[in-house]
């Protein structure tokens, strides 16, 4: 079964990772960033070796988000940077092919232990099944 495993962050979290302390948390140092990247690289390498990794990527900060919709007249409506500093969005994801919900939960628990500076907001790792045609919707 395929699963999407997602980590979340706010614009304030991205600013903290760029060395600017948010109102409620620490600024990240270069050492903090290196530790996070090394941890994520190790997770990705392990998942690739096990054959469970389908895809993985980090996403740009929320300030670079664009919403595209349609108004009541059928016209396209584009909103750049629609989120506030504290709105939490997907910051990165993995698509994994795992044998069981228990296995993907084990992986998510490992990801949740990513090193971060003390005082960084604690965000859960989100796991969602990706059904295929045989599973139904």
pLDDT in tens, the chain (137 residues): 999 999 999 999 999 999 998 888 899 999 999 999 999 999 999 999 999 999 999 999 999 999 999 999 999 999 998 888 889 999 999 999 999 999 999 999 999 999 999 999 999 999 999 998 766 66
Domains of the chain: 2-130 (3.30.70.1060)
Distance from chain centroid for Cα 134: 27
């Amino acid at each position: 079964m395929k699963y999407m495993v997602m980590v979340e962050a706010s614009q304030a979290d991205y600013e903290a990772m760029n060395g600017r302390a948010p109102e409620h948390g620490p600024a990240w140092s270069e050492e903090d960033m290196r530790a996070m990247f090394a941890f994520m690289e190790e997770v990705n390498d392990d998942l690739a070796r096990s054959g469970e990794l389908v895809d993985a990527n980090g996403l740009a900060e929320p300030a670079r988000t664009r919403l595209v919709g349609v108004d009541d007249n059928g016209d396209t409506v584009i909103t750049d940077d629609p989120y506030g500093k504290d709105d939490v969005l997907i910051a990165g994801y993995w698509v994994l092919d795992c044998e069981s919900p228990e296995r993907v939960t084990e992986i998510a628990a490992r990801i949740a232990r990513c090193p971060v500076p003390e005082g960084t907001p604690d965000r859960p790792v989100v796991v969602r099944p990706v059904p295929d045609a045989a599973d139904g919707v």
